[in-house]
């Protein structure tokens, strides 16, 4: 089939490449000409394992263009994969969705199926159907909601081997067309109406966000009562009614989906006079959790002024260069405002971070350089380079070896007796804090 993908972000480019992989002729369109030129030159605008290789392997069936008229003219199916950014009130901005659909309607030569992969409020598909089909006598448009459930870092596998393919359709014809589109994928379909499909996306993401915030609250209690949240999560996860995924305590969720989608659903509920207390709680817990390490650090330093702070990890999770809603974007401004010297290392995310902080912080080439002469270390992302590092490097390189691990990268046994303070999330503190605290006070007085 001739398929057009609108938007070449994570969802768009991965969807397009995977559809080309199973034999479709795919055109990826984006208004960003610079981005399209990079893709034409086989330069990936995002970091995603395996993506570049798949783009190259499918070059005969995969094209990238910035001319929307050419992109849509002969399309049988168009996937809308544009952003729905959060407005100030928490609602979703649908401008890019409506603009894209309008361009399809204007340019396509014959009947076309428009598939909404963007996360949109319930009722968007019905409204689009009503608006565009009432105005067109010569062409008929099937509107389908087909939410994505990919995760950055595993996006290709999540697409090719999806746990389910949700089809929100209002006609047998639309269902038949989408089944043909996905014929080469692992198929486990959930076929429903458009409104339910739109709700499935929000309900799924928000439930996972709830699960993360729940285990983080349990972790915070474990800090006070002396329990180990990892053992607690393990014991919970064996229960098949609960499951072990998304039960890893840390400093909160980030990325392009969970923060935006929880706020959008909360807004939608309020708009319909339906209070979602659990969603509001998940949002509040997550915002507080992101600065958990700052609060822990205050036990050792009243102020960060004049201190050297090492930051390991900038992206919201490993396996991606995405900084959206990453804890680093909340912690580093606080440290800078308080007068700290901030040194950072991230194997993938530093180029993107330089666009935000080009000169205010020091970008290091390795973990060792980051730790050198540091008074405290924050671990914000569990990159493999960090998880597998020799923990004896902390006391060797740091001036005052205090390590605050927001991702529980190391077992307590691995850091026991290694001559540094180690605080993680929901587990006991390891290290002689009184001895190091006295050393800090002496160095401050001497300075």
- State how far the Cα of 22 lies from the Cα of 127, in Å rounded to an integer: 32
Q: Is 195 annotated as a binding residue?
A: no
Q: What angle do CA 67, 70, 76 make, to 5 degrees?
A: 130
The token duo for 263 is 């706020």
Q: Is 353 annotated as a binding residue?
A: no
Backbone angles phi, psi at 344, to 5 degrees: -130, 155
- Give the distance, in angstroms, between the CA of residue 280 and the centroid of all CA atoms in the same chain: 19
Q: Is 35 annotated as a binding residue?
A: yes
Active-site positions read 257
Q: Is 90 annotated as a binding residue?
A: no
Q: Which of 366, 326, 374, 325 is nearest to 346 (CA)?
A: 366
Q: Is 30 annotated as a binding residue?
A: yes
Q: Is 317 annotated as a binding residue?
A: yes
**What separation in angstroms does the CA of 299 have from each of 26, 105, 112, 306, 404?**
56, 60, 61, 17, 11
Q: Is 126 annotated as a binding residue?
A: no
Q: Is 427 annotated as a binding residue?
A: no
Q: HSE (CB half, 13 Å, CA atoms) of 112?
A: 30
- State how far the Cα of 363 lies from the Cα of 369, in Å rounded to an integer: 9
Q: Is 250 annotated as a binding residue?
A: yes
First to last CA, the chain: 71
Backbone angles phi, psi at 442, to 5 degrees: -65, -45
Detail the residues annotated as belonging to a binding site for substrate. 201, 246-250, 254, 317
Detail the residues annotated as belonging to a binding site for NAD(+). 30, 35, 84, 119, 260, 324
Detail the residues annotated as belonging to a binding site. 30, 35, 84, 119, 201, 246-250, 254, 260, 317, 324
């Amino acid at each position: 089939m001739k398929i057009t993908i609108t938007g070449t972000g994570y969802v768009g480019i991965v969807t397009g490449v995977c559809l080309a992989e199973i034999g479709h002729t795919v055109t990826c369109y984006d208004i960003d000409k610079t981005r399209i030129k990079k893709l034409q030159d086989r330069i990936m605008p995002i970091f995603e394992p395996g993506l570049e290789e798949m783009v190259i392997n499918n070059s005969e069936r995969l094209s990238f263009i910035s001319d929307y008229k050419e992109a849509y003219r002969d399309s049988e199916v168009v996937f809308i994969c544009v952003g729905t950014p959060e407005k100030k009130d928490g609602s979703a901005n649908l401008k890019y969705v409506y603009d894209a659909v309008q361009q399809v309607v204007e340019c396509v030569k014959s009947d076309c199926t428009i598939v909404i992969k963007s996360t949109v409020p319930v009722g968007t598909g019905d409204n689009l159907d009503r608006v565009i089909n009432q105005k067109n006598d010569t062409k008929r448009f099937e509107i389908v909601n087909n939410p994505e459930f990919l995760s950055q870092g595993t996006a290709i596998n999540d697409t090719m081997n999806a746990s389910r393919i949700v089809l929100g359709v209002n006609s047998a014809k639309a269902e038949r067309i989408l089944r043909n589109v996905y014929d080469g994928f692992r198929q486990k379909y959930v076929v429903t109406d458009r409104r339910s499909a739109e709700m499935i996306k929000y309900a799924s993401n928000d439930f996972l966000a709830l699960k993360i915030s729940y285990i983080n609250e349990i972790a915070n209690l474990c800090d006070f009562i002396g329990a180990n949240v990892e053992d607690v999560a393990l014991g919970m996860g064996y229960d098949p009614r609960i499951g072990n995924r998304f039960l890893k305590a840390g400093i909160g969720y980030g990325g392009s989906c969970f923060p935006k989608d929880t706020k959008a659903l909360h807004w939608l509920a309020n708009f319909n006079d339906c209070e979602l207390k659990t969603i509001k709680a998940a949002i509040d817990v997550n915002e507080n959790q992101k600065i958990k390490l700052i609060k822990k650090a205050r036990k050792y330093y009243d102020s960060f002024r004049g201190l050297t702070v090492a930051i390991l990890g900038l992206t919201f999770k490993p396996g991606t260069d995405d900084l959206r809603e990453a804890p680093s974007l909340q912690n580093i401004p606080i440290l800078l405002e308080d007068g700290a010297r901030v040194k950072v290392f991230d194997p993938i995310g530093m180029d993107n971070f330089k666009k935000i902080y080009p000169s205010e912080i020091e970008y290091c080439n390795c973990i060792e350089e980051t730790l050198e002469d540091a008074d405290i270390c924050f671990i914000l992302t569990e990159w493999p380079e960090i998880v597998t590092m020799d923990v004896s490097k902390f006391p060797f390189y740091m001036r005052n070896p205090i390590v605050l691990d927001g991702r529980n990268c190391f077992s307590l046994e691995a850091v026991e007796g290694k001559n540094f303070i180690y605080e993680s999330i929901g587990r006991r503190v390891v290290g002689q804090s009184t001895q190091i605290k006295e050393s800090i006070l002496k160095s401050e007085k001497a300075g």
